[in-house]
Amino acid sequence: MKIKTVKALNLLLLFLVFSACKNEQKDQNTVSAQSQELVELRHATNFNISDFGDYYILKVETPWPDAEKAFKYLLTRENAEIPSNLEYDQKVQIPIEKMVVTSTTHIPALETLNEEKSLIGFPGLDYISSVKTRKLINSGEIKELGKNENINTEVLIDLDPEVVIGFAIDGNNKTFETIQKIGIPVMYNGDWTEKTPLGKAEWIKFFGVFYDKLEEAEKIFNEIETDYNEAKELAKSAEKSPKVLSGAMYKDQWYLPYGNSWHAQFIKDANANYVYAQTQGNGSMALSFESVLAKAQDAEFWISAGQYTSYTQLLEESQHYQQFEAVENKKVYSVSLTKGETGGVLYFELGPQRPDLVLKDLVSIFHPNLIPEYENRFFKALEE
């Protein structure tokens, strides 16, 4: 009887110790889940980063316009202790060594972080303009993956990336679903959904986490922000604010940016008056030629004039463009004159990451006396 009692007491003691260990582990997990530091984001509104010490939670609020759900990604260092009750959509170990991205706007962030060699595949290599990355393409280190909506999954599987950074205009990309089913995590980047120039640029912190270089990414962004604000302050010293038209005709419609777009924000920060500054919406406005002519015929400058690179080309499309003062006075500017070796437009690739350079271009155009010897990077005057 005494032996049974001792055994019972031993079992009770073991149970209590085991329970205490479980409770202690549960408490530790709870503490781990609560002791987080939210990374500062001053301009970007569509993602956030929580730093838990040995892992990060990267939450993308708006991967595309009107997205019905946010995505939560776990980026963990090796041997990190992850709470058992932590919920997330995809997981990857950092720092990343092999990555696939799907938008040219992702390329500058990788290059600035000196991680372009981690890029092993891309859908549509001809769109990439960067000299640095094109050297890797030409040497065969970055493989063609087809089209963003129909990525060649066989090539992707052979490349075996640790993660695919997705770009999507909605949630109906079946290829991404297939990629995730075969075990390769897809994590969405929504930099293009930001409304402000500095908001887009701050997404370099998104990539900084993947390479465990968040501090470096923050330093890079701080420099861009400082340069942007200095150019903005310089523009305020101009004596006048010229009237500006933007966009171009496609078929029977003139497509223009809304007044709350990132493009319009550049014009405002360059101390100029965009003719449609009071409008709001997503995407682009589509207006008739007649309505644009009535409102903007006397605009001093016309920027982002579509794919046109010369006045000859512009007027061959339509002689009616001669009615605009900006055309008559040769003050039409386009980003289509600065291209990579395979035809990609540099502005669409680098502009979102370097808004400071875009703003300096516009300040030099609208107020040439403020930056007299500045050489434009993106916006160039149309050729004859």
Question: In this predicted model, what pLDDT tens digit does every residue of 126-149 receive, in sequence order?
Answer: 999 999 999 999 999 999 999 878
CATH of region 239-381: 3.40.50.1980
Rounded Cα gap, residues 20 and 24, in angstroms: 6
> Is residue 210 predicted with pLDDT exceeding 50?
yes
Q: Spell 288-322 as b/e; 16+ CB within 10 A means b.
A: eeeebbeebeebbbbbbbbebbebebbeeeeeebe
pTM of the model: 0.89
- Confirm if 306 and 248 have CB atoms less than 8 A apart: yes
Q: Determine how β-strand 253-257 pairs with β-strand 284-287.
A: antiparallel
- Look at residue 22 and tell me whether its pLDDT is greater than 60: no
Burial class (CB in 10 A: 0-12, 13-18, 19+), 59: middle
Eight-class DSSP state of 323: G
In the chain, what are the domain boundaries? 37-223, 239-381
201 within 8 A of 351, measured Cβ to Cβ:
no
- Quick one: pLDDT band at residue 4, thresholds 50, 70, 90? very low
Single out the residue of 206, 205, 225, 224 nearest to residue 215, CA to CA: 205
- Assess whether the region 37-223 and the region 239-381 belong to the same CATH fold: yes
Q: Which backbone phi and psi does 204 adopt, to 5 degrees?
A: -65, -25
- Here the tokens at position 152 are 């060649």
The tens digit of pLDDT for each residue in 262-305 reads 999 999 999 999 999 999 998 889 999 999 999 999 999 999 98
State pLDDT tens for residues 166-201. Answer: 988 888 888 999 999 999 999 999 999 999 999 999
Decide if 85 contacts 76 (C-beta within 8 A).
no
pLDDT tens per residue across span 70-125: 999 999 999 999 999 999 999 999 999 999 999 999 999 999 999 999 999 999 99
197 closest CA partner among 237, 223, 236, 224:
224
Q: What is the mean pLDDT of residues 372-380?
A: 94
Q: What is the CA radius of gyration of the chain?
A: 26
- Which CATH number applies to 37-223? 3.40.50.1980
Contacts of 328 (CB under 8 A, 6+ apart): 322
Q: Nearest to residue 302, comparing CAs of 248, 345, 249, 356?
A: 248
* Distance separating alpha carbons of residues 258 and 255, to the nearest angstrom: 10
Confidence at residue 66, expressed as pLDDT on a 0 to 100 scale: 87
